[in-house]
A and B are shown apart, each in its own frame.
Chain A
Amino acid sequence: AQTVTQSQPEMSVQEAETVTLSCTYDTSESDYYLFWYKQPPSRQMILVIRQEAYKQQNATENRFSVNFQKAAKSFSLKISDSQLGDAAMYFCAYRSAREYGNKLVFGAGTILRVKS
């Protein structure tokens, strides 16, 4: 079974600075998808960024980028120019590329605090 590990329960960053959230995963599959989700307090889960395992190029979405290291099974999220609105719980998630049973497997999450 696949597992996702987020080793940082909590991180803090100064507004306008850069922060990196770590994620590692374990799988025997070669084709899969990785995601970062943001969940603000008492609000719904929002997709931040997605990476296909077959792509070597790291995904980027505005201030958000990933460092995908397939051999190391590592998938970190970098947030540049941090804003107060970035404060939330961030979840790393894995999904198999198989046609069926493609549920998301989540890590335990990292709370990100942004200081003004």
Chain B
Amino acid sequence: GAGVSQSPRYKVAKRGQDVALRCDPISGHVSLFWYQQALGQGPEFLTYFQNEAQLDKSGLPSDRFFAERPEGSVSTLKIQRTQQEDSAVYLCASSLSLAGGLFGPGTRLLVL
């Protein structure tokens, strides 16, 4: 596709519910990043994939967060037993190299 796409764009979840957020990177981009952006704040790193390998997951806030990219293209960020503090915009970015990377539109998650 022309850019990075994410779905859903908006998600409302009840506390305790599991959610899955999808990222479709630009075709051929080997690097894929997930970031969490709280309201009015800068994005914070969650995890990084190079192709299908998850090389850095140091930013995942708890073991309720899990990410995968099984075929080296589409990635899914899963949050189990959602809590109110998980409410944020989840951004996906992909890149070919050490350039800044292109961001998707984000998924806005609201946990009630």
Contact = CB atoms under 8 A, between A and B. Distances in A.
Range of interface residues on B (Cβ < 8 Å): 20 to 34
A68 interface: no
B41 A108 contact: yes
Nearest to B31: A102
Interface string B99-112: 11111111000000
Interface in B14-70: 31, 33, 35, 40-45, 48, 50, 55-56, 59
B104 to A, nearest CB: 7
A103 B45 contact: yes
Contacts of A93: 42, 100
Range of interface residues on A (Cβ < 8 Å): 20 to 34
A107 B42 CA distance: 6
Interface string B71-112: 000000000000000000001010000111111111000000
B77 to A, nearest CB: 15
Contact of A100 (B35, B55, B91, B105): B55
Given A44-B104, A44-B105, A102 B42 contact: no
Contacts of A102: 31, 48, 98
Contact of A97 (B55, B98, B104): B98
Contacts of A104: 33, 35, 43, 45, 93, 100-101
A78 interface: no
Given A101-B48, A101-B55, A103-B59, A91 B42 contact: yes
Contacts of A108: 41-42
A19 interface: no
17 contacts: A33-B100, A37-B103, A43-B105, A46-B103, A47-B101, A93-B100, A95-B100, A97-B98, A100-B50, A100-B55, A100-B56, A103-B45, A103-B59, A104-B100, A106-B43, A106-B44, A108-B42
Interface of A: 4, 33, 35, 37, 43-47, 50, 91, 93, 95, 97, 100-109
Interface of B: 31, 33, 35, 40-45, 48, 50, 55-56, 59, 91, 93, 98-106
